[in-house]
Structure 1
Amino acid sequence: MSLESYKEILERMRAKYIEESGNKPEDVSDIGIRLRVMAGEVYRLQARMDWLWKQAFPETADGAQLDLHGAQRGLVRGGREKAEGVLEFSRYVPISFDLMIPKGTVCASSGEEAVEYETTEEAVLAAGSVTVSVPARAVTAGSAGNAAAGYINTLVSEVTGINYVTNTKAFSGGTDPEGDEDYRARILAGIGRLEGFGSAGYYEGIALEQAGVRSAQAGISADSSGVTVYVWGDGAAVPEEAIGELQERLDSSRPLGVAVTVQQAATKKVVVGAQLQMREGADFAAASAALPNVIKAWLNQRSVGESVYMAKIQRLIMDTDPGVARVGFISSCKDHEGALGVVPIAGIVSLKEVV
C-alpha cells in the first residue's frame, strides 16, 4: 500500500480540478483553500489506513497491536525482570551483640546513573562476626540492574553498626521487555507450526500452557507413533513437578496409539568473544562491566530449537551501549544453528577493546 504525500495529493486534486473546470484555482481563492483542506484530510485518512494495514499482520504490527497477535497464539511478550544476587554487609571489627539488618534495606551502585538494590529478607550479623550475606534484588526491573561483582558499594538506608556493603558476585537475571523483533519471530514461528490434533504445534501449545514452561518443541517420529516434547523454563530447567503434571495432561490429550514423552531440553552453551571499538570519549570499562550481563540475560531467554546468530548479538551490543562504534568477534565464535530439543544458553562472554 503506497502512501501519497500531502503535496502529491494536492497536486493531483488541482490537476483534476483544472481538467474538469478549465480554470486554475488561486491559492487564496475559496476553491484553493478547499482543495488544501481536503488534501490534508485525505492524507490523514491514507496515513490512518496505512497504519491499520500494518497492524493487521504480525509481520508488520508493532507495540500493543503485536501483543494482540501474540495473544491469539497464546504467546505473551517477555516482561521486565529484576536482577537478583547477594549483598554482603560488613564491619571493620566485630561487636559483642547481634545486629539486625531489616528487610528492604536499600543500597546502590556508584556513578552518575546509580541503580538501587534492596534486601529481600531480614538478616542478623551475629555477635563476633564482621560480615553477613543477604539476598537482594534491584528495586527497578530491567537489564540496568545487572551488576558486576563489586559494583554495588553504597549504603542508602542507614544501618547503625554497618560500615560498608558490596556484592562479591554479580547480580543477574534483570531483563528488559522483549523487543518487537524477537517477539515477532516467536509469533511467526508459532504461526508456521500448524496446531491440528496430533501435530507438533498441538503438543507445543499444551506444553506452553503448563506453569513453569516458557518454551517447548515437539519432535514426532517418522511413523508418527511417538512424540517427544522438549521443554525449558525461564532461563532454567523446568521443575520436575511441572514435568510430571504436563506428562499427565499430554497422556490424557494424545491421539490413540501415540506415545508421548516429556523431556528436559538439552543445553548448548554459546560462547561470545567480542572485540569492541569505542567511540571517542566512551568508557570501555563501564561497557565491559555491564554488557556481559546483558548478553547473558539475552542468551538465557532463548527458546528450545532456536538459532543464535552473532549478528543479533552484535546488534544487541550496539543497541545497549551507544558508545560502541564497531563490534567484531574472534574466530572461535560461531553461529549456533537450532537443533531439535536443544536450547542455547549463555557460555563464557568476554569483551576486548580494539583500536
Structure 2
Amino acid sequence: MSDYSEFLSAMQAEYAAQTGFSADDASDIGIRLKVLATQLAALSGRVEALKAEAFPQTASNGWLDYHAETRGLSRKAAAPSSGTLRLYRDTPSAADISVPEGVVCALRQTGGEAELRFVTTAAGVLEAGDTSIDLPARADRGGADTNAAPGAVCVLVTPVQGLSGVTNPAAFSGGADAETDDQLRARLLRSFASISNGANAAFYYDFAMGFDGIASANVVPRVSGRGTVGVYLAGEGAPASSELVQEIEARLSQAREINVDVTVASAQAVPVNLTLQIEGTSGVEFESLKAACTQRLTDFFRGLAVGQDLLLSSVGDALYHTEGLYNYKLTAPTADQEAEANQLFTLGTVTISRMAVVS
C-alpha cells in the first residue's frame, strides 16, 4: 500500500517530467498535488482494508459473517450453562410441596448483589417425608463465566413456601462465550475443506456444530452397521446438555437422509487427574504461579474435542507458555491417553507442588 509521501513524490516527478518544471509547494499546482495525494492515500487504505475483508482467511466481524452465510453458517451466540439445583428444607416435609418452574437461585452474594442467577426449567413436587428435590436449571444468560462449581449456588432468590435453601450437587457446565472470529473462521474454512453433500459425515458435523453451546462434535459412520450414524456432542470442556442433545436429535431426524438411523448422544466425560511440580522464575510467588498454571490447564482442556487424544506434549506446551514459569515436571498421568470416538477428556483434580531444588 502506498502512503501519502509516495503518491506525492510520484506525482511531482511525473509533473516535472511532463512540463520540465518542478511544482513549487506554495504554487496552485503544488497544493493541488498535495490534496490529490491525500485522497489517493485514503483511497489506497480503504482498498487494502476491503482486500482483507474479501477473503474468509482475513475477514473480520460482520464481513466474516457474510462469508459464513455463503456456506449456510452463522455465528453462534453465547450459551448458558445447565445443571441441577437441589432445593431443600431442614426437616422432612409433613405434606407434598409443589415447586413451580422458574424458581430463581443465585451464587453467593458479592457486595450485596447476586451476580449470576440460575432458573429452574421444570416444575416438581417435594413429597411428604422428603427433605429435598432436584430440578433441572440453566443460567439466565450465556457465557463461559456461567459455569459454576458444585455448591456455588446457595441463594434462593424466589421464595418457595416450605423450602429454606438451595445448592447444586454437581457443577453447572456447558456455558460458552459467543463464537469469536477465529472460531467462526476455523469452522468456515473446514466447511470448504470438507464439503457437505447432505449424506456424508461433513453434513452431520456441520449440522451439529451450527447450534449454540456445541463446541465440538464427532461423527462416526456405520456406528452400528450399514445405514447408521453416530453423532457425539460436547460443549467447552463438558459434555453437551441432554436438552440440547434432544433438540439436535429431533432436528436431525427431519434433515437426515432416507433410510439412515442417526444416534445423537452427549459425549462421555473422562476426567483426567493431573499431578505436577513447578518452579517459577526469580521473584514469582508460588501461589500466583500455581493459579496461573491451573488456569492454563483449564483453558487447555476446554479446547479439547470429542474423540481427541490427550497428548502429554500438548499439556506440556500449554504449561510452557505460562508467564513466570521457569520449569515443570508432570508426574501424572505418565502416558498419552487415547480417546474413544464418544469420549471427551475433561480436567479432573489438579495437584501442584513446588519442584525440589537440586543442589
Please tell me the TM-score bracket, short chain as reference: 0.5 to 0.7
- Partner Cα separation in structure 1 for residue 135 and residue 263 of structure 2: 35
* 2:257 maps to which of 241, 249, 258: 249
1:139 equivalent in alignment to 2:135: no
Unaligned runs of 5+ in 2: 212-216, 355-359
Partner in structure 2 of residue 61 of structure 1: 59
Asked if structure 2 preserves the Cα contact closer than 8 Å seen for 1:210 and 1:242, the reply is no
Q: Is contact 2:194–2:202 with CA below 8 Å preserved after alignment?
A: no
* Shift in Å, 1:140: 0.6
In the alignment, the residues of structure 1 paired with residue 318 and residue 65 of structure 2 have an alpha-carbon distance, to the nearest angstrom, of 22
TM-score norm. by structure 1 comes to 0.65
Query: 1:256: which partner in 2?
Result: none
Q: How much has 1:109 moved relative to structure 2?
A: 1.6
Corresponding residue of 2:124: 123
What residue in structure 2 maps to residue 254 of structure 1?
A: none
Q: Percent identity, aligned pairs only?
A: 30
**Structure 1 residue 144, shift from structure 2 partner:** 0.8
Name the SS of the counterpart of 1:61 in structure 2: coil
Distance in 2, Cα, partners of 1:23 & 1:311: 65
Q: Cα deviation per residue 1:94-129 (whole Å; 9 max; x = unaligned)?
A: 454444444222222234683211121233444444
Structure 1 residue matching 2:37: 3-state secondary structure: helix
**Which residue of structure 2 lines up, in the alignment, with residue 184 of structure 1?**
185
Matched, 1:347 2:355: no
Which whole-Å deviations, capped at 9, do the CAs of 1:168-225 have from their partners, x for residues lacking one?
A: 21001111223332332333233223568xxxx96234435767998565879xxxxx
Q: CA deviation at 1:155?
A: 2.8
The answer to whether the Cα contact below 8 Å between 1:270 and 1:336 also exists between their aligned partners in 2 is no
The amino acid of 1:325's aligned partner reads E
Distance 1:35 1:289, change over 3 A: same
**Residue 68 (structure 2) pairs with residue 70 (structure 1):** yes
2:156 corresponds to which letter in structure 1? L
State the AA in 2 paired with 1:168: P
Tell me, in whole angstroms, the C-alpha distance in 2 between the residues paired with 1:335 and 1:14: 66
Q: Distance in 2 between matches of 1:309 and 1:33?
A: 65
What letter matches 1:144 in structure 2? D
Q: Give, in whole Å, the separation in 2 of the partners of 1:335 and 1:47.
A: 49
Q: Does 1:231 align with 2:231?
A: yes
Task: Give the whole-Å Cα distance in 2 for the aligned partners of 1:155 and 1:247.
Answer: 42
**Distance change >3 Å, CA 121–CA 318, structure 1 → 2:** farther
2:96 and 2:106 mapped to 1: Cα distance?
24
Name the TM-score, length of structure 2 as normaliser.
0.65
Q: Which moved more, 1:79-88 or 1:7-16?
A: 7-16
Q: Which residue of 1 aligns with 2:357?
A: none
Aligned-residue CA RMSD in angstroms?
Answer: 5.1
**1:49 matched residue in structure 2:** 47
Q: CA deviation at 1:290?
A: 11
Distance 1:103 1:247, change over 3 A: closer
Give deviations 1:127-150, integer Å, cap 9, x for gaps.
Answer: 444322222110111111111111
